[in-house]
Amino acid sequence: MNSISAIPIRRALLSVSDKTGIVDFARALADLGVEILSTGGTANLLSANGISVIEVADYTGFPEMMDGRLKTLHPRIHGGLLGRRGEDDTAMVAHDIPPIDLLAVNLYPFAATIAKPNCALADAIENIDIGGPAMLRAAAKNHAAVTVVTDAGDYDRVLAEMRAGNGAVCQATRFDLAIKVFEHTAQYDGAIANYLGSIRAEGERDPFPRSYSAQFRKVQDMRYGENPHQGAAFYVEPKPAEACIATARQLQGKELSYNNVADTDAALECVKGFATPACVIVKHANPCGVAVGTTILEAYNRAYQTDPTSAFGGIIAFNRPLNAATAKAIVDRQFVEVIIAPEVMPDALAVTASKQNVRVLACGQWGAERIAGWDYKRVTGGLLVQDRDLGQVARSDLKIVTQRQPSEAELADLLFMWQVVKFVKSNAIVFGRDGMTLGIGAGQMSRVYSARIAAIKAADEKLDLKGSVMASDAFFPFRDGVDIAAEYGVMAVIQPGGSMRDSEVIAAADEHGMTMVFTGMRHFRH
């Protein structure tokens, strides 16, 4: 790491789009004897607050022009930032380029601009910052001598070091701040490339740009990955759009593992789909029990009944705050890896404290509407990108295709199981009744075997399938899945439809006196 002795900051250039905290920062710098250079709106703000400031145009002798497009791209600015102390001193003196020891810059709000409805291309272009990134990169490259700040949250940190270090900032901090700059400019340029790369020649927007850049922030180094011989870390989006595993606060328990994070995500995303108090228990990325109730305790007790064997060592998610009664029922009954809820009541945390290894997470409350976004799947040499599966069906979307009409209770259960099957690995079959899963068949190469496994699981737990309903994540290619369900007393089926043999499948349902509805929507999950 390139390093020189810490030297006091004597000259700073401040030019910010987001002016949060800049007046207090500038005033503190002035109190420390720092000469302040500034531009445009920042300079006007500082002057209006009684802070002595030198306009960059006066400093360079070159006027700001082109509506602000050209103001800091000048050798006296970039030389002052890039000049290597002890190496370039002669050239700097010869060309009258004093050193600039601190730079505080944040960039035009490009991301906020393009997020506006009906943002015009011209507006987006005008919010592409040129001078700011150039100065930031120059200062960050020369971090051996220059302190560069792009985040207002670092102002106090810099000032504290200056006060303690006779006006200087230590090398470790300068290096860390330089990394933040390159992270910031990479994200900024990525957003520009993503936006412009999605515009077709005729001006229409392509939902997927011709190249794709994304940035994630590391929040945890993990002991290992999916298996002990694999290294792993957990990265999150800079600003997650809704409450999720990435926003969760760990309140107690061992460090989360790679598999813990993946399974907790599966459980939480499933439970978000229910409006009434609900519980989802997940094992190896698949729900093994899902239920609703008048309380989350009732929902948990019912979800646990589906498959107590698989629930051992599982992940439990709720869509209501975790209370003491529910926490006690869990820790008294089973071994659990993770419990996650929007919030965790203090009395619940007091209960789980008796099992210190249990990981307890609070993720915050999500809104009624899910936030659209992208899902990713890494393949060797590439990346698959798709819209998140936020597809929903309402009663009005269902197409009844059998002679028998579903009852109100059956309709409610069909929609409930449809919400569950969406989160089960394909091929997926879910049996259930009265807002509770009774058997779940996941991840089989044959849909009929998923149905058999779901029935076996129900039988093992002595759960009667008579009068229950069945959900299938995709269409039945043959009638055999319906025939098997009928053997166990299933009376209603929900599936997408769309098979070449739909007529045979419908006929099978009619023969068994079952009712069947088509959703017209598939929910493969791989």
Residues acting as catalytic residues: 141, 284
Are 413 and 435 in contact, with CB atoms under 8 Å apart?
yes
Helix and strand numbers, DSSP H then E, in the chain? 19, 21
Going by C-beta distance under 8 Å and a sequence separation of 6 or more, which residues neighbour residue 175? 1, 143
Q: What is the CA radius of gyration of the chain?
A: 30
Residue 280: which of 292, 261, 267 has the closest Cα? Answer: 267
Going by C-beta distance under 8 Å and a sequence separation of 6 or more, which residues neighbour residue 396? none
Handedness of CA 512, 513, 518, 523 (dihedral sign): negative
Helix then strand then coil, in percent of the chain rounded to 5, is: 35, 20, 40
| DSSP-assigned letter for residue 474 | S
Q: Where are the beta strands (DSSP E) in 81-229?
A: 102-106, 147-149, 217-222
In DSSP terms, which residues pair with 165 in a beta bridge?
Answer: none
Written as six digits, the tokens of 425 are: 């690995």
What is the C-alpha end-to-end distance of the chain, expressed in Å?
Answer: 45
3-state DSSP of 84-126: CCCCCHHHHHHCCCCCCCEEEEECCCHHHHHCCCCCCHHHHHH
Are 316 and 299 in contact, with CB atoms under 8 Å apart?
no
CB-CB neighbours of 171 under 10 Å: 17
Antiparallel, parallel or unpaired: β 11-16 and 102-106: parallel
Residue 259: which of 207, 224, 305 has the closest Cα? Answer: 224
Q: Supply φ then ψ for residue 383, to 5 degrees.
A: -140, 125
Handedness of CA 4, 10, 13, 19 (dihedral sign): positive
